[in-house]
Structure 1
Amino acid sequence: MTDALPSPVEAKPRLPIEVCERVIEEVYDKDYRFVSTSLATLSSCALVCRAWRPRAQRVLFQYVLLRDKDALYRFAELLDASPELGTYVHTLELRGHLHVPYSPAVLFLTALRGRLTNLVELYMHGFEDAKKAANPLPEAEKELPFLPIHRYFPSLLTSISHIRRLDLVDVRFPSFGDFARFLSALPNLKKLFCYLVSWAVLGLEPVCMAKRSCHDSRKTFLPNLEELMCYDMDEQGRQRLLSALGPSLRTLWIKVPNNPPAVRIEHARSGVKQEVPSLALNLRSLPCLNLLCCSLAPFTHPDDQTLESLRDTIISWLPSSDDVVGHISPSQRYLHLRPLGRGYFKRKELVELLRTIGPIVEAVLCRNEAAEGDLQDQTSGDTDDRPETDPCRAGLVVQDLGDRLEWEDWWRAVVGECFPTLSRWRRLYVHPTHAAYTVEQWQDYGLTPQDYADHQLSTVLPDTVLPDADLPDAILHDPHRRKRDVLKNFIAQFIPVRRRLSQRQSLEDEG
């Protein structure tokens, strides 16, 4: 009889480690609203066992968020102890109080220099007013009017000159020249997003934005940039930035209306008349720009100046008759319209805004000559011999509506009514249910299409009789067509009929 205990059997994992690694990779969420939760989960995964640690660390350090200089220096010490972690970093975000003496947006270049060799994206997000109030600075520390950039700052940017994307949110530079030199040091940028970017002094156009010579059309400023977003940026600086770019730019995002920061400390010379900057953009220098995307912000009373600036911007984007270089066919050119945020709108408010800008957009995107020629052919009866010519110079995409499936038909109908010519020629593309951020909801998200129909019914007299020519057979043969229950079944499909009736009644009242 032996006293020996049975040898311990090494426990084997129930799932292959490759399956666990795939699950760990799916934990990470790049969206800032969920990144804190995903990073906490990844930290827990790294502590489960030795087999999980390498993959969890690799995913965990793909995204690094630094809120202040203390977090920056702790991260630098961690890289001193484990240099391989720096190679995992693909995205670095500096979020918080950036306009302070020891700003992490300035110090990170020296603290992390040469360690983030695989960095792809850099985000600089300053706090907006609400965040500043919720996260006040210590009493001994005061906020500066702009980033504390020093004279050697652009040269330090060479350590991250390989990045492909830069986001600047609520960042203020000492001058427009500092902003331009910051960008010029990043020649490999493919995506640049600017929101509430400003400067204390506009000044003269910096040398880094100029062409090589007056006879050379090649651009040396951001030569690889493909996508640009400019929201709420000073009009003069925004136009300078666009004019300095070249044929590499394919996509431009703008906000309508544009509301740049109102703070400026550049004073005009006394007695010198200041020229009012144009609100419209001149896009003639961007021959390969095939996507012009407009994010619509709510404005209750669209003024003529805003609508004219939108019209002039679209006109400058479309090719003129003498444009040869970089010409894009109409089938490849698209104007995108989307709400800036669904939480800013009720559904009907966005529709009313689309109705306001619809005639302006169609007047620019659709050739009048073709429409007049088609009309002459129809009146002369010679429609069979001459096929109609597509008058659309570009397609129109209405996107990020992000609604429930039951609203799909309603959205397609009302948006098509706002752009009838584009809809007729099938150059209108509506995305009612797809959205980039599905958590954003309309202010009246809980309503249904039937609720909208009931609201329309409440605005119509119960004894109103619609013209027989405009009603379907189901109503024509119903002896009680004055009743609300019959109209209720068809109101969602015949809103345009009701609008024509309202216009007809108003004309009769005026007569």
Structure 2
Amino acid sequence: MDRVESITAATSEGVHGPSIPRLPVEVCERIIDHVATGVNLVYRFIMKGEPHLTTLTSCALVCQDWYYLTWYHLRQRVYLRDRKDVLSLSKTLHAKPRLREVIQQVVISGGSPGKRQPIRHLGTFAAMLAGKAPKLSRIGIQDAEWTTGSVRMEDIGFLGVFSLIDSVDLSNVTLSSVAQLSHLVSALPRLRNLWCYDVDCLQKQVESPASLPLNCANLEHLDVRWVAPAVEDLFVRISRASRVPNLEIGVDEELDPSSAPAEARLC
């Protein structure tokens, strides 16, 4: 923009006062970009009240121009807590196609932080947003209860359209069966990194283990801590079958370390 925009203040009687100078949009954009450098998306969690994030959120409320200037930073990581969030995101990306390049991470979660709730919108997200977030590289599932039949397996298959996804993060999740996790991994051909923290599983029996993901040989980093026996068994079998270069398994003190594979680092 080559000129300085101005806004006009109006009195309660409708009489316009003198123009109030306003910073050029380019300067505002530079300021917002500078604030955003303090938000590190490498971390799995961004604490509520983090000052840089709070400042960006305040900037987004100033006006419509500032909203879209901050959108690039605030929507690099998107939290989807229900189907309405998915529909809203889909509508926004349809109205502003250039914003599709912004999204790098998506977190599918239950409605309440810390409380595991059904995530039926995982399937909605996979089906509706397939091909609409070309830069998406990481997906997270947290505070979730993945119940049987709540997410169609064919919808999970749509995740393969997100061709850049190389990292998956599961935290505070209850699975109905370990086969759901195996299917999720199989749907992501470029998956390299997988974190599982506090993942329970209603399937208690491990005598009939789920088949290994087809792409498990591509995995490079597995970090497994405080998970159900069936989940741990899946990862141990993956590590033995594919020789994952970096495997970290958190175990209880009473567990015999000799039962873990030699290439694992016990935490």
Q: Answer yes or no: same fold by TM over 0.5.
A: yes
Match of 1:107 among 124, 131, 141: 124
Match of 1:253 among 244, 248, 254: 248
Once the two structures are superposed, residues 195-243 of structure 1 have per-residue CA deviations (whole angstroms, 9 ceiling, x without a partner) of: 232433356344454xxxxxxxxxx433332211112223344233332
Match of 2:37 among 19, 26, 35: 26
Residue 54 of structure 1, CA deviation = 5.7
Tell me the distance in 2 between the aligned counterparts of 1:154 and 1:50. Answer: 35
Q: Is the 8 A contact 2:139 2:169 kept in 1?
A: yes
Q: Secondary structure at the match of 2:217?
A: coil
Are 1:226 and 2:220 counterparts? yes
Tell me the distance in 2 between the aligned counterparts of 1:311 and 1:113. Answer: 43
Tell me the distance in 2 between the aligned counterparts of 1:162 and 1:254. Answer: 26
Q: Secondary structure at the match of 1:57?
A: helix
**Distance change in 2, residues 1:177/1:157 (3 Å):** same
**Distance change in 2, residues 1:45/1:80 (3 Å):** same
Q: Secondary structure at the match of 1:317?
A: coil
Q: Give the count of matched residue pairs.
A: 238
**Distance change in 2, residues 1:80/1:12 (3 Å):** closer
In structure 1, what is the equivalent of residue 108 of structure 2? 94
Tell me the distance in 2 between the aligned counterparts of 1:335 and 1:86. Answer: 39
**Distance change in 2, residues 1:144/1:20 (3 Å):** closer
For the aligned residue pairs, the C-alpha RMSD in angstroms reads 3.6
Q: Give 1:103's aligned amino acid.
A: R
Q: Secondary structure at the match of 2:222?
A: strand
In structure 1, what is the equivalent of residue 16 of structure 2? none
In structure 2, what is the equivalent of residue 204 of structure 1? 208
Residue 165 of structure 1, CA deviation = 1.0
- TM-score, length-normalised on structure 2? 0.71
In structure 2, what is the equivalent of residue 69 of structure 1? 83
In structure 2, what is the equivalent of residue 122 of structure 1? 139
Tell me the distance in 1 between the aligned counterparts of 2:199 and 2:22. Answer: 57
Tell me the distance in 1 between the aligned counterparts of 2:265 and 2:174. Answer: 30
Q: Give 1:116's aligned amino acid.
A: A
* Higher strand proportion: 2
**Distance change in 2, residues 1:144/1:336 (3 Å):** closer
Once the two structures are superposed, residues 237-277 of structure 1 have per-residue CA deviations (whole angstroms, 9 ceiling, x without a partner) of: 423333234556222222231xxxxxxxxxxxxxxxxxxxx
Tell me the distance in 2 between the aligned counterparts of 1:236 and 1:196. Answer: 13
**Distance change in 2, residues 1:144/1:179 (3 Å):** closer
**Distance change in 2, residues 1:161/1:177 (3 Å):** farther
Q: Give 2:55's aligned amino acid.
A: T
In structure 1, what is the equivalent of residue 150 of structure 2? 148
In structure 1, what is the equivalent of residue 257 of structure 2? 310
* Unaligned 5+ runs, structure 1: 1-7, 128-142, 210-219, 258-301, 319-333, 338-511
Give the number of the structure whose alpha-carbon radius of gyration is greater. Answer: 1
Tell me the distance in 2 between the aligned counterparts of 1:66 and 1:228. Answer: 25
Q: Is the 8 A contact 2:220 2:245 kept in 1?
A: yes
More contact order relative to length (CA 8 Å, sep ≥ 6): 2
Q: Secondary structure at the match of 1:171?
A: strand
Q: Is the 8 A contact 1:147 1:171 kept in 2?
A: no
Residue 124 of structure 1, CA deviation = 0.6
Residue 52 of structure 1, CA deviation = 5.8
Tell me the distance in 1 between the aligned counterparts of 2:146 and 2:187. Answer: 24
Residue 168 of structure 1, CA deviation = 1.1
Q: Secondary structure at the match of 1:89?
A: coil
What pairs with 1:448-459 in structure 2 (closer than 5 Å)? none
Percent sequence identity over matched residues?
A: 21
Once the two structures are superposed, residues 364-402 of structure 1 have per-residue CA deviations (whole angstroms, 9 ceiling, x without a partner) of: xxxxxxxxxxxxxxxxxxxxxxxxxxxxxxxxxxxxxxx
**Distance change in 2, residues 1:52/1:243 (3 Å):** same
Q: Secondary structure at the match of 1:23?
A: helix
Q: Is the 8 A contact 2:32 2:56 kept in 1?
A: no
**Distance change in 2, residues 1:151/1:235 (3 Å):** closer
Q: Give 2:95's aligned amino acid.
A: A
Tell me the distance in 2 between the aligned counterparts of 1:54 and 1:99. Answer: 31
What pairs with 1:328-477 in structure 2 (closer than 5 Å)? none
**Distance change in 2, residues 1:154/1:12 (3 Å):** closer
Once the two structures are superposed, residues 340-381 of structure 1 have per-residue CA deviations (whole angstroms, 9 ceiling, x without a partner) of: xxxxxxxxxxxxxxxxxxxxxxxxxxxxxxxxxxxxxxxxxx
Match of 1:178 among 174, 180, 204: 180
Once the two structures are superposed, residues 298-353 of structure 1 have per-residue CA deviations (whole angstroms, 9 ceiling, x without a partner) of: xxxx6xx43xx12553xx416xxxxxxxxxxxxxxx9575xxxxxxxxxxxxxxxx
Tell me the distance in 1 between the aligned counterparts of 2:35 and 2:139. Answer: 24
Tell me the distance in 1 between the aligned counterparts of 2:117 and 2:257. Answer: 33
Q: Give 1:227's aligned amino acid.
A: H
Q: Give 2:34's aligned amino acid.
A: V
